[in-house]
Amino acid sequence: MHILEKHKLLLGIFLLSFIGGFFRFYNLNWGSPYFFHPDERNIASSVASINFPNQMNPHFFAYGSFPIYLIYVTSLVLDLFLKSQDLFMQAIVISRFYSSILSLSLIPSVFFVGTKLYNRKVGLLAAAFCTFSVGFIQFAHFGTFEMWLTFLGVWFFYFSLRLVKNLNLKNIVIAGVVFGLLLSTKISSLPLFILPVITIILNLLSRIKIRKMHLLLLKIFLKTLILIFVSLIIFAAFSPYVFLDFKSFLSSMQYESSVVLGTLPVFYTGEFFNSIPILFQFTKIYPFLLNPILTIIFIPSFLYLCFKGIKTKNPQYLILNTFYLILFLPQAFLFAKWTRYIVPTLPFMYLIIAIFLEKFISKKILSIMLISVVFAGSYFITAFINQDTRAEASLWAKENIPAKSIVLSEVYDMGIVPFNQYLQNISLFNFYDLDQIPNTMLPELNDRLAKSYYIILPSQRILKTRLINKNKFPVGNKFYKDLLNGTLGFKKIYETHCDLFCKIIYLGDPVFSFEETTSVFDRPPVFIFKKI
């Protein structure tokens, strides 16, 4: 590479990383001191419960132990310089810091992989998409483990891909280590093991004649066994209580699988009834995480790579598409189709799109990139520049609702907490159970409505699911319709304002456009009703 070209490339990556860093690290303390995200709170509680060396069981198996232990060790190091009385809050901030670091690290990582996979232009373009990725900016601000999974997934893909050309012990061990860390971050990464097995087979097929089938099978078995052995060592080292407290781990996995498969009804999966796999992700999730234009472009990009891989017999293109499918399909067909499940697919979508654009639409790349910048900026302003919607609504309530007014609100929503300091008589009602036991709940609800002067909905969570699923929630559907149209005797006096940036990122409707977790944690609309 010419020295001047190399310097330009390094400058480009530096600028992207600088911009990406600003998007990712700005306002990492959002939501303080309430910290509304339930997964963050669960992780922080697990970290706070650890006490080396006496108590190292995280007692939390929905996620893996590797990030939990690293967050805990980091908190110990910080305590040497800065004593913290609030371990819970410290754990949340540290976990968000790690998410931001890993999200930022994806920019040079994807550039590197894209360069090795295709060329420097594709690598730079994919890195630029990562920089202005709404999904990566959002999850950089969440102290959850999606960024861990995504970062490790990119490098697992790269080291698995290397096995096609060089099946030496070093590459197998590195792939095994990364896979072990993935499993230690989330056990649901297990299907990804398919990829290195495929690349091992491709390597051996290119070197061993078919007639020596017994030798081929033996080599595949031995290489795969090494990979499994290394992965298990790493997994056991960072997730020891999967084995030491197997009963709790098994119980947690049974619960989590029941929830995501829909066999155990829980209050937070109501939006997924009647959702169509794949279509749901491409209409309710990807247009938010990627932006609508990139979502559309991805479809011909994926098909092009399939065609190019078959035509040129270049396994790299087919392996890239295959890895995307391994990540996407197992999540797409679950009953629970949360946004976080498909965040790890984004780097591979950006690589696939970048290859297609570089080949066919190179003259339109700047326009497409500008669209990505607009959506990223709109989300960033809406979620992290503007005041938190729950804090904003609570301040409005302070000025407009008498402190001793009787207020009715919803259960299981941390968004009501900021109101507690200003309103003295807030009672919570379980609207989730209205359709399960209406004969018991309706008389109590009617009594609460008769006594209440205000109703506060801290988010769209119950309202949305009840309005879009009339057949599943007929009683809840009627209640929220009657509340909105005034039949209940209440009038809407406050709704979170949706400005131009909000309208861009949520396509004009922050309630119904996307899957609810795209906004319910960081920017939920708040509604307040007053008795007429």
239-294 residue pLDDT tens: 999 999 999 999 999 999 999 999 998 999 999 999 999 999 999 999 999 999 99
Q: Let me know whether 171 and 264 are in one domain.
A: yes
Do both 480 and 426 map to the same domain?
A: yes
- Both 281 and 313 in a single domain? yes
Residues 132 and 233 in one domain: yes
- Give helix 315-332 / helix 194-207 axis angle, nearest 10°: 160
Give yes or no: residues 365 and 423 share one domain.
Answer: no
- Quick one: 322 and 264 in the same domain? yes
DSSP 8-state secondary structure symbol assigned to residue 413: -
Single out the residue in 384, 406, 422 at which a domain terminates: 384
Least-confidence region, from 81-95, 267-281, 513-527: 81-95
Choose the final residue of a domain: 369, 384, 399. Answer: 384
Domain finish residue from 384, 402, 419: 384
Q: What is the pLDDT of residue 87?
A: 87
Domain match, 314 and 423 both: no
| pLDDT for position 207 | 75
Residue 326 neighbours by CB under 8 Å, 6+ apart: 191, 192, 194, 195
CA distance 151 to 182: 10
| Residue 213: band (very low, low, confident or very high) from pLDDT cuts 50, 70, 90 | confident
Query: Does 282 lie in the same domain as 229?
Result: yes
Q: Check residue 286 and give its pLDDT.
A: 98
Residue 357 has pLDDT above 60, yes or no: yes
Residues recorded for the chain: 532
Same domain for 407 and 299: no
Is 526 within 8 Å of 494 (Cβ atoms)? yes
Residue-wise pLDDT for 281-312, tens only, equals 999 999 999 999 999 999 999 999 999 999 98
Domain that holds residue 488: 389-531
Query: Is there a single domain that holds both residue 338 and residue 469?
Result: no
The total number of structural domains in the chain stands at 2
For residue 419, pLDDT over 70 is answered with yes
Mapped onto helix, strand or coil, the DSSP state of residue 451 is: helix
Q: Given this model, what pLDDT does residue 458 score?
A: 98
Residue 173, Cβ density class (10 Å: 0-12 exposed, 13-18 middle, ≥19 buried): middle
3-class secondary-structure state, position 452: coil
So what's the pLDDT on residue 415? Answer: 97
